[in-house]
Amino acid sequence: MATRSTVEPRPQPGSAHRRPAAGRARRRRRVLSYWPQYLAVSPFFVVFTGFALVPIMVTFYLAFHDWDGIGDPKYVGLSQFRYLIHDHTFWLALWNTLVIWLLATVPMLFIALVVASMLNSAKRLSGFYRVAYFTPSVTSLVAIAIFFFAVFSSQYGIVNATLHVFGVPAVPWMTNPWTIKIVIALLMTWQWVGYNAIIYLAGMQAIPTELYEAARIDGASAAQRFFRITIPLLRPIILFTVVVSTVTGLQSFTEPQVMFGSNAATNPNSGGPGQAGLTVMLYFYHQAFDNNDFGYGAAISWALFLFILLIVAVNWRLIGGRDR
């Protein structure tokens, strides 16, 4: 729509000087005549304004205030951020978030690439495989989290029962700070591999087959074709998946919230033993909604926003950088 005005015949310089009002009116009439199109795109912007833009602005406002949820917000300047810098729990949560994100995203995107190239060459049942891999990403996260929790339960989980059969001692999955992170990362990997694989698959199918044929004639092996043709040509798509995984992965909340939501009355949303599953989003939720400290919660969410921005910028340089 915005590009439309450039196509319009430009008024003569002289006439525009003489009658600027008439030109503006004509342009306004033109804009108004597109009202069905504006109406068609408006639902997104209305919902976005109401449920994203306004809350974001309010959060920004609250980050500089002290508010318990009912009373009047009190302006406190930068003191929420000053507290944040010295808050060990916040830094612990940021560390947890980063570790879980790395443990989840790196294997996830790698496996997704492998799965996509396998799907790409599947001869039979390819539709079934695609649906099967995609299913986890449309499954309820709460259900998956409860399922994973049961499977990895330290004392009665099926994983430890299986290990026991092979004589391997039980692993305290849900109490050790590292295994807690691994289980959460495994969950995220399992859920999003198929989604990313489908995106890669779409990218792979857009690569002209002539390139592969030419490479094969030149004697390139399958591995060489994968690393020299598929990966470089998929780079924009990989960048897209990395950015999306960064934005969503660093906001992990439901997984630890459901897994360690028990004991809710005395120590709600603590992130489990050693607070090893406490992500920044969960910590934000705890401060805002358990402790009624909405100002501090807002400050945490803005800190997380800046952190995600930083990581995305780094990704951009690392993966998309060579073109610039």
Partner 1 sequence: MELSRRRFLQTSALTAAGVAAAAACGKSSSPNGAAGGSSTISLWYWGGGLSDKVVADAVKHFTSVTVKTSVIGGDFKQKLLTTMSGRKFVPDVTGIKGEDIASFLPRAERFIDLNTLGADKLASQYLGWKWKQGSTQDGKLIGFPIDIGPTALFYREDLFAQAGLPTDPATVASQLASWEDYFSAGVELHKALPKTFLLNNVGSVFNMVVGQGTTRFIDTNNHFIGDQDHIRRAWDLALRPLQLGVDAKINDNSWNAAIGNGALGTEIGAAWHALDISSAAPGTKGTWRVAAGPGGPANIGGSFLAIPATSGNPKAAFDLISWLLSPQNQARGFTDAALFPSSPASYTLPALTAADPFFGGQKTIEVFGPAAEKIPVAYEAPADAAAAAPYFSELTSVETKGKSPDQAWADAVSQAKSIAAKQGVSI
- Which residue ranges make up the site for partner 1 (CB under 8 A)? 36, 39-40, 68-71, 83, 87-89, 149-150, 153-157, 172, 174-177, 259-260, 262-263, 265-268, 270, 272-275, 289-293, 296
Least Å from the CB of residue 248 to partner 1: 23
Token digits of residue 279: 């992500």
Least Å from the CB of residue 7 to partner 1: 21
Q: Which of 16/264 has CB closer to partner 1?
A: 264
Q: Which of 41/222 has CB closer to partner 1?
A: 41
From the DSSP assignment, how many helices (H) and strands (E) are in the chain? 17, 2
With contact defined as beta carbons under 8 Å apart, do 201 and 122 qualify? Answer: no
Least Å from the CB of residue 157 to partner 1: 8
Backbone phi, psi, residue 223, to 5°: -65, -40
Q: Which of 136/268 has CB closer to partner 1?
A: 268
Residue in 298, 305, 289, 266 with CA at minimum distance from that of residue 83 = 298
Which of helix, strand or coil describes residue 89? helix
Least Å from the CB of residue 32 to partner 1: 14
Token digits of residue 277: 């599953």
Which of helix, strand or coil describes residue 70? coil
* H/E segment holding residue 44: helix 35-48
Q: Residue 262: what residue type?
A: S
Q: Which of 10/86 has CB closer to partner 1?
A: 86
Chain mean position to CA 96: 16
Backbone phi, psi, residue 96, to 5°: -55, -45
Least Å from the CB of residue 179 to partner 1: 11
Least Å from the CB of residue 178 to partner 1: 11
Q: Residue 286: what residue type?
A: H
Q: Which of 108/174 has CB closer to partner 1?
A: 174
Least Å from the CB of residue 171 to partner 1: 13
Which of helix, strand or coil describes residue 30? helix
Least Å from the CB of residue 5 to partner 1: 23
Q: How far apart are the first and last CA of the chain?
A: 29
Which position has the token pair 């999955």?
173
Q: Which of 175/221 has CB closer to partner 1?
A: 175
Residue in 224, 199, 201, 197 with CA at minimum distance from that of residue 212 = 224
Least Å from the CB of residue 69 to partner 1: 4
Residue in 238, 239, 271, 257 with CA at minimum distance from that of residue 90 = 271
Q: Which of 289/316 has CB closer to partner 1?
A: 289
Q: Residue 121: what residue type?
A: S
* H/E segment holding residue 210: helix 209-217
Which of helix, strand or coil describes residue 87? coil
Q: Which of 162/263 has CB closer to partner 1?
A: 263
Q: Which of 50/321 has CB closer to partner 1?
A: 50
What does DSSP assign to residue 214?
Answer: H
Backbone phi, psi, residue 66, to 5°: -110, 120
